[in-house]
Amino acid sequence: MNVAIVKYNAGNIGSVENAVRRMGIEPMVTDDVEKIQSADRVIFPGQGEAHSTMTYLKAHRLDEVIVGLKQPVLGICIGMQLLCRHSEEQDTDCLGVFDVDVKRFIPLQHEDKVPQMGWNTIEDTKTALFEGFDKPEFVYFIHSFYVPTCDWTIATTNYIQPYSSALHKDNFYATQFHPEKSGQVGEQILKNFIEL
């Protein structure tokens, strides 16, 4: 199993690398187009800000490469948001795999702290990415922007309002939460992705 992790100017990539290693797979962290295109699985991870990461992806031609991938792809956190059409973060046009716009959390009360940081549940999970999940499970989130529920929603989370905590379309999967930091539940999700 050949797993490529897209290397770009986002943080937290090492955490995903460590998580894949814990599954007994040695991943390639790379921005090499051929290596990414020929991998069995591609993970597009990261923590960061939409505008500067999109600028970097375009400058390195990784935008076209990611959109054109045919093997299973997993976007994580900013990776998921970048796979959407547009983000309110710095009014950024993104990759457009998922035809939905990324919004900023607007707090309704004092308890609605932004960013959402910590453990929250995913519900109504669908697809093989969540194989074996039959009840709401806690996963780890850090984010200030969210994807509303839409046709591609395969998991929902409630924070301020219900929103998409995971998306799926064709070979593209994406999670707003960090499976690499979500304990055993997160490990199961990564394992499911590898076994798709």
Q: Of the residues 89, 94, 168, 178, which is catalytic? A: 178
Residue 36 tokens read as 């990414």
110 is catalytic: no
In the chain, what's the furthest Cα-to-Cα distance? 48
CB atoms within 10 A of CB 122: 24
**What are the start-end ranges of the H helices in the chain?**
13-22, 33-38, 50-59, 62-67, 78-82, 183-194
Q: Choose, from 17, 77, 94, 168, the residue flagged as catalytic.
A: 77
Query: Which of residues 14 and 148 has its CB atom nearest to other proteins in the complex?
Result: 14
Choice between 116 and 149, CB closer to other proteins = 116
The footprint of other proteins (CB under 8 A) covers 11-12, 14-15, 18-19, 21-22, 47-48, 110, 113, 115-120, 138, 140, 142, 159, 180-184, 186-187
* 75 Cβ contact partners less than 8 Å away, ≥ 6 residues apart: 44, 45, 81, 82, 83, 167, 172, 173, 174, 175
CA torsion sign for 93, 3, 7, 139 is positive
Which DSSP letter does residue 106 get?
Answer: -
Residue 53 beta carbon to other proteins: minimum distance, rounded to whole angstroms: 13
Q: How far is the CB of 68 from other proteins (least distance, A)?
A: 30
Decide whether 129 or 139 has the Cβ nearer to other proteins. Answer: 139
Is residue 194 helix, strand or coil?
helix
Work out how close the CB of 55 gets to other proteins at its nearest, in angstroms, rounded to a whole number.
17
Helix (H, G, I), strand (E, B) or coil at 178: coil
Active site residue 143: no
Residue closer to other proteins, measured from CB, 91 or 184: 184
Minimum distance from CB of 14 to other proteins (Å)? 5
Assess whether 178 carries a catalytic annotation. yes
Catalytic residues: 77, 178, 180
